[in-house]
Amino acid sequence: MFPERLTEGYRTFQRGRFAGERSRYEMLAEAGQRPEVMIIGCVDSRVSPEVIFDAAPGELLVVRNVANIVPPYEPDRLSQHGTSAALEFGVQALRVRHIVVLGHAHCGGIRAFADEQEPLSPGDFIGRWMAQIAPAAASLGPRPQGDAADYLRRLEFASVELSLRNLMTFPCIRILVERGKLALHGAYFGIAAGRLLVRDPDTGRFEPLT
Q: What is the pLDDT of residues 134-192, one digit of tens each?
A: 999 999 998 888 778 999 999 999 999 999 999 999 999 999 999 999 999 999 999 99
With H, G, I as helix, E, B as strand and everything else as coil, classify residue 36. Answer: coil
101: left (phi over 0), alpha (psi -120 to 50) or beta: beta
pTM: 0.95
pLDDT at residue number 80: 67
User: Which of 25, 19, 68, 20 is closest to 43 using CA atoms?
Assistant: 68
- CA 49-54-59 angle, 5° bins: 75
Instruction: Say what the pLDDT of residue 103 is.
Output: 98
Closest CA to 187 of 103, 63, 108: 103
Residue pair 40/63 in contact by the 8 Å Cβ criterion:
yes
Query: Residues 38, 43, 46, 51: is their CA dihedral positive or negative?
Result: positive
Strand order in the sheet with 206-208: 60-65, 37-42, 98-104, 183-190, 195-199, 206-208
Which secondary structure element, helix H or strand E, spans residue 189, and what is its range?
strand 183-190
pLDDT tens-digit profile of 21-78? 999 999 999 999 999 999 999 999 999 999 999 999 999 999 999 999 999 999 887 6
β-strands 98-104, 206-208 pairing: unpaired
Q: What's the CATH superfamily of 33-208?
A: Carbonic anhydrase (3.40.1050.10)
Which among 200, 199, 190, 182 is positioned nearest to 52, based on CA atoms? 190
Domain(s) labelled CATH 3.40.1050.10 in the chain stretch across 33-208
